[in-house]
Amino acid sequence: MTTEPTRLADLTATRLTAGYAAGEFSPVEVTLAVLARAEAAQARTNAFVRIDSEEALAAAGESARRWRAGRPAGPVDGVPVTVKDLLLTRGTPTLRGSRTVRAEGAAWDEDAPAVARLRAAGAVFLGKTTTPEFGWKGVTDSPRYGVTGNPYDPGRTSGGSSGGGAAAVALGAGPLALGTDGGGSVRIPASFCGIFALKGTYGRVPLYPASPFGTLSHVGPMTRDAADAALMMDVITGPDWRDWTQLAPETGSFRAALTGPVAGLRVAYSPSLGWDVPVAPEVAAAVRTVVDRLAALGAHVEETDPGIEDPVAAFHTLWFSGAARVVQHLGDAERALLDPGLREICEQGARLGALDYLAAVEVRAALGRAMGRFHRTYDLLVTPTEPITAFAAGAEVPAGSGYTRWTGWTPFTYPFNMTQQPAATLPCGVDGAGLPIGAQLIGARHADALVLRVAHALYEAGAAEIPAPPAPATPAGR
């Protein structure tokens, strides 16, 4: 072996598979190093609800045999992956952060489509990562599993609802994480934890079972960089008959599209979407550096707003109705076990009627048309991912903010779940406390490859370099 164990846990998936092919190291060596990081990440941040060491090492051994024979199962063979505890994983309970879901209540004999695709491609599953109850909010804490902290400061939130996956990637507990995003749930924690994430066009990654939050909810990759996200998208976008809303398969490879040009692209930079959003000065300055770098790469950049209104009321109607549907089958005793905030929005959602819901759908359709019109002029929209950096863990909103719900502090993410557009976040700096800042790249529907290409160009240009979080203590120096 030519690479030290600590380095193995820090390598990207792209680098790992190249190392396997060259015989530099084996999937077993990598998995041992990453499992040590996973245990340390768990102690530091509570990123996991389950770590499957025995299963992971068995899968790594099978992968090592395939690589030695020169017959890898797919592009992520032997790469450690984590899965959010909302997605079905064969042989493992999916408890969704809730005390109302019983581990013994199902056979757990089915994979979600993206999980199945990763398994077929030889990925090594490390375990399941934390989520707030049923993924209902933009921070990660739940009555069942407690609070997940930030890798840069465990006293701060990791964001959510895919906070466990983001913390795991940031701390070297697997270079790939599978998350879900219904209002920002891969982008929020990726921004707070200093990693990359992509919410693709709705239907690009098949989903089963269908989310109770309807077509707001996407499945997406959380990774160390854009190249790894493209690698993962090449695997998880395969068709699955169980999802009747899925899009037709891509005609080309996301990885192959990374090398396309950025020069000549029409980029709109909107510091606040034209709304009264108090963006922290350090955040605004960091995102501006991304825009300046795009201009230096030859993009035509213009500061302008898309001319849309905040759809938060319509989003709440759709989101709260979905939450009410999640718990509709529960009796009073089980409802008493729910996160109090979730119980509150479920009660609000249950009071909404069909006409309220249809009015929200109408707002959503108008928003989608407006953004479609906007993208006839601009290839890409750049905004902050979040107007703030990570705040205290265990709270839905920052102390003293005046916000009542998580949507108050994340105005730049949920609109693009409404419109089903591809949106990515990449790190672009840190604030005075050393906490990561994210920049959001938004493309027109179906322009997933373009978003990844621009993000990759920014990584290649050094625009996404930030200090790593403090390394968690691991046994035997791993």
Active-site residue list: 84, 161, 185
Q: Are strands 124-129 and 80-84 parallel, antiparallel or unpaired?
A: parallel
Structure tokens at 160: 């959510």
Q: Quote the CA–CA distance of 394 and 390 in Å, as a whole number.
A: 11
Record the tokens describing residue 477, joined without a space.
């120096």
3 state DSSP class of 373: helix
- Which among 271, 224, 263 is positioned nearest to 465, based on CA atoms? 224
Q: Please provide the DSSP assignment of 214-258 as one string.
A: GGG-EEEEEESSHHHHHHHHHHHTS--TT-TTPPPPPSS-TTGGG
- Looking only at the bridges linking them, the beta strands covering 196-199 and 423-430 are antiparallel
Q: Tokens for 206?
A: 């098949």
**Between helices 113-120 and 226-236, what is the axis angle to 10°?**
100
Give me the amino acid identity at 176. L
Please answer whether residues 282 and 386 qualify as being in contact, where contact means their C-beta atoms are separated by less than 8 angstroms: no
How many CB atoms are closer than 10 A to CB 335? Answer: 14
**What 3-state class would DSSP assign to 29?**
helix
Measure the CA–CA gap between 453 and 184, rounded to whole angstroms: 21
Q: What are phi and psi of 326, to 5 degrees?
A: -55, -40
Give the Å distances, CA to CA, from 136 to 74, 327, 343.
34, 12, 10
